[in-house]
Structure 1
């Protein structure tokens, strides 16, 4: 297989997974958010939470559907484009993906229908249980997927027999060295992406003059979550980086754009620059002395491995991962800035009146998703040239298609994905533009609302003929803090 065909095959997989990873990340966050909203409504009977539930569950269902569709394509590509990988390592990745289906997917499928369509058909306790089960299902799904992916980065618990991976210890396979860090990092990233999505939706509504209790409540809840999780993600990322340094030192060297270690000198931190793989140098490097050693070794003297410590054929593409990592970190810093600013505005009682802050929040809406993608590129491109680190090279894992065949399918994927998921995304944004409505719960099932017809049902709960939701206290005019 030619180098160009291999590159196109990698681009094709990267393109399809870039679409896929966005939707599960949002559904992980929204499922937990919906469980919190329903629990809050059951506890307080404040219909603000109920209105928010019925608004966000429609967006959840759309993202869930697009995630399922895009995920099916990923599974098929293991056979069509990466037959070498399936042949060598399928005995590990196949069962892990099957466990996901048998646990997470069946759990979600069993309760999703009740969650979406059973609001007026089952009691509130069973409906809440269904929402919680779906939320747990999304987390279980993430657990199996991250176990499989982490094993590819830090493989253990197997033997190589006749060039094929034979599992010998499933506990070690699942709980491989990088798994806990990747799982927590990804789940927290999904929650942050969802919180930013919710906050930006609220900020948009405020800019449109819709300063109502539901909008304030969802914006407030999202900002509290960002304030809690964004600093926590910095700590998790540091632990993840130390783990990567131990098990994939070449990746860390590429992320740092660090080429060689002068004797006796601590490693600087390269803030910006342009790593040149051909000339083995980082051009225009802006360095902070010693800081690289301090961050990655927690020492003022210890060095980190350099790219020249590894053979050229074993080095990841530093030009790409150097910048994807900095994009992720930069967006994380902006998330912290957003959260701290919101806290200051709360103290000043201006959180819902500050137009500059609302514009900042809207601009930060996609930041969580972009940060996830940037982190994913850093992780996966940084693993190269290995598919299973130290065991199977990418060039040996790919199906031997011709360049023309791969280029054709890649072009078809681009056209179909942009059309299909582009329309789905535009519809989600249209729902966001409409925003939550007072009394959305009164028509019946959660996702059956036509936003243009909401006013027809905006009557008091106790007088609506089809309403089976217990009457609850109305909205409060007080600001949600």
Structure 2
């Protein structure tokens, strides 16, 4: 591969792939930790405090990697994509700054209390700190998704001398796709965390750790997944309809529709062939594609042929979308069966536990597939209808990009493997009672409450 543009795209994709893994966890994990705190405060049951103490370590590790990888990614705006900030920096710059000023400092400030304050501050302060961190992670997602959504559905600006200038900040932030994209991402984060907690808890269960804190976390995660999956399906449908309105070429590629047609089928399987602009070995349900997308069995859907050369590549979107949906359906089946088993027997069995362990990081797979569909589906534009990817790219030589790309890939692979290894190491360590001490609560005055009748 010697094309500098393609190398730059692959490098940014590698950075983004690694980075998104960690915010996807930290966004929802903060709220789960807040739930654990609230449950402990309301019931006095130490299992919730023990669950909190275990998962706050994983949250901190995740948060740290998310920050580091985000910094690396931001450098590439200047090195590989100078045309992006030159053209739309008046809009992208403030949105990125808002994310740092309103979210990052909030998270970083109160995270220290969460990690080191359990034995030093009152229960109220610890709970409030956890809420502030959870709120901060969500606020961070809000600003980043606002910018990303604007890149897909740009409004509220005017072009002056080749540069975008804001005319309506409310329209920019709350652009047409932003509510759908933000909701979809937040739920995706919730599902990623639900299966992470369920998988690690099941792993501890298999290692004979059946303590109340493990079971409390497991049940919480399974209920989360079982409730959120159906909501995500509805939100995903709404997001798809919004995409059809604003980015019809993306929908055509996702569904493998090469020529504009009425009563388009829903393709369950096919092998898209760009050379012949056709699908090989297609298996589909007649008219269902049009029915889902237009709510009419004979509704018309524009095909790839309607967009000339301004359309994304079909195979990555076609397969990426089906991977996302397939993993989502598997999540639905596993979470509902797990919830039914827990309700019926009050516990899980070894086979179900192994299944949950196998799906510990299923949320990552679904999120990445969906993110690839979103970002590749915007091609050939970086900002839809405003700035093409080619116009934003730098003139850096291909060998230089290739060398840094190779270093990134090796580093990211090593860090990802290390992260997963550490998470499972903490799970093994957490299963030993002597390594999971329960911090006695502290009164508002700072005096420790006596436990077990002690002084």
* TM category, shorter: over 0.9
Name the CA distance, whole Å, in 1 between partners of 2:419 and 2:104.
22
Which of 279, 283, 288 matches 2:285? 288
Q: Which residue of 2 aligns with 1:450?
A: none
Moved more, 27-36 or 427-436: 427-436
Tell me the CA shift for residue 156 of structure 1.
Answer: 0.3
- Do structure 1's residue 319 and structure 2's residue 311 form an aligned pair? no
Moved more, 430-439 or 156-165: 430-439
Which of 349, 369, 380 matches 1:385? 380
Name the CA distance, whole Å, in 2 between partners of 1:213 and 1:429.
19
Q: Which residue of 2 aligns with 1:330?
A: 326
Q: Which residue of 1 aligns with 2:19?
A: 20
Q: Which residue of 2 aligns with 1:217?
A: 216
* Aligned partners of 1:198 and 1:218 also within 8 Å: yes
* Aligned partners of 2:50 and 2:438 also within 8 Å: no
- The CA deviation string for residues 289-308 of structure 1, in whole angstroms up to 9 with x for no partner, is 01001110111111211111
* Aligned partners of 1:269 and 1:291 also within 8 Å: yes
- The CA deviation string for residues 297-344 of structure 1, in whole angstroms up to 9 with x for no partner, is 111111211111110x21101100100110000011011101221232
1:96/1:340 CA distance change after superposition, 3 Å: same
Tell me the CA shift for residue 350 of structure 1.
Answer: 5.6
* Aligned partners of 1:120 and 1:468 also within 8 Å: no
What pairs with 1:344-355 in structure 2 (closer than 5 Å)? 344-349=340-345, 351-352=347-348, 354-355=349-350
Secondary structure at the counterpart of residue 404 of structure 2: helix
Give ranges in structure 2 of 5+ residues lacking alignment: none
Moved more, 191-200 or 426-435: 426-435
Secondary structure at the counterpart of residue 273 of structure 1: strand
Tell me the CA shift for residue 441 of structure 1.
Answer: 6.6
Moved more, 162-171 or 276-285: 276-285
Q: Which residue of 1 aligns with 2:251?
A: 252
* Aligned partners of 1:54 and 1:440 also within 8 Å: no
* Aligned partners of 2:25 and 2:62 also within 8 Å: yes
- The CA deviation string for residues 274-303 of structure 1, in whole angstroms up to 9 with x for no partner, is 111222111111111010011101111112
**Aligned Cα RMSD in Å?**
1.9
* Aligned partners of 1:226 and 1:339 also within 8 Å: yes
Secondary structure at the counterpart of residue 76 of structure 2: helix
- The CA deviation string for residues 53-108 of structure 1, in whole angstroms up to 9 with x for no partner, is 00001111100000100000111111111001111011111100000111001211
Which of 394, 401, 404 matches 1:409? 404
Name the CA distance, whole Å, in 1 between partners of 2:267 and 2:118.
55
* Aligned partners of 2:200 and 2:424 also within 8 Å: no
Q: Which residue of 2 aligns with 1:479?
A: none
Name the CA distance, whole Å, in 1 between partners of 2:40 and 2:436.
12
Name the CA distance, whole Å, in 1 between partners of 2:335 and 2:417.
30
Q: Which residue of 2 aligns with 1:198?
A: 197
Which of 375, 389, 409 matches 2:370? 375
Tell me the CA shift for residue 143 of structure 1.
Answer: 0.1
Q: Which residue of 2 aligns with 1:170?
A: 169
Q: Which residue of 1 aligns with 2:91?
A: 92
* Aligned partners of 2:24 and 2:192 also within 8 Å: yes
Secondary structure at the counterpart of residue 383 of structure 1: coil
Q: Which residue of 1 aligns with 2:336?
A: 340
Give ranges in structure 1 of 5+ residues lacking alignment: 445-460, 475-481
Tell me the CA shift for residue 429 of structure 1.
Answer: 2.3
Name the CA distance, whole Å, in 2 between partners of 1:42 and 1:15.
42
Tell me the CA shift for residue 442 of structure 1.
Answer: 4.2
Secondary structure at the counterpart of residue 275 of structure 2: coil
Secondary structure at the counterpart of residue 259 of structure 1: coil
Which of 255, 272, 277 matches 1:275? 272
Give the TM-score taking structure 1 as reference length: 0.90
1:470/1:196 CA distance change after superposition, 3 Å: farther
- Which stretches of structure 1, 4 residues or more, deviate above 6 A after TM superposition? none
Name the CA distance, whole Å, in 2 between partners of 1:347 and 1:57.
28
- Do structure 1's residue 300 and structure 2's residue 297 form an aligned pair? yes
Name the CA distance, whole Å, in 2 between partners of 1:154 and 1:344.
41
* Aligned partners of 1:34 and 1:56 also within 8 Å: yes
Name the CA distance, whole Å, in 1 between partners of 2:228 and 2:381.
32
What pairs with 1:145-156 in structure 2 (closer than 5 Å)? 145-156=144-155
- Do structure 1's residue 400 and structure 2's residue 418 form an aligned pair? no
Tell me the CA shift for residue 32 of structure 1.
Answer: 0.7
Name the CA distance, whole Å, in 1 between partners of 2:101 and 2:236.
31
Tell me the CA shift for residue 113 of structure 1.
Answer: 1.4
1:220/1:276 CA distance change after superposition, 3 Å: same
Name the CA distance, whole Å, in 1 between partners of 2:247 and 2:451.
56
* Aligned partners of 1:157 and 1:173 also within 8 Å: yes
Tell me the CA shift for residue 25 of structure 1.
Answer: 1.0
Name the CA distance, whole Å, in 1 between partners of 2:275 and 2:40.
60
Tell me the CA shift for residue 348 of structure 1.
Answer: 2.6
Tell me the CA shift for residue 440 of structure 1.
Answer: 5.9
Give the TM-score taking structure 2 as reference length: 0.95
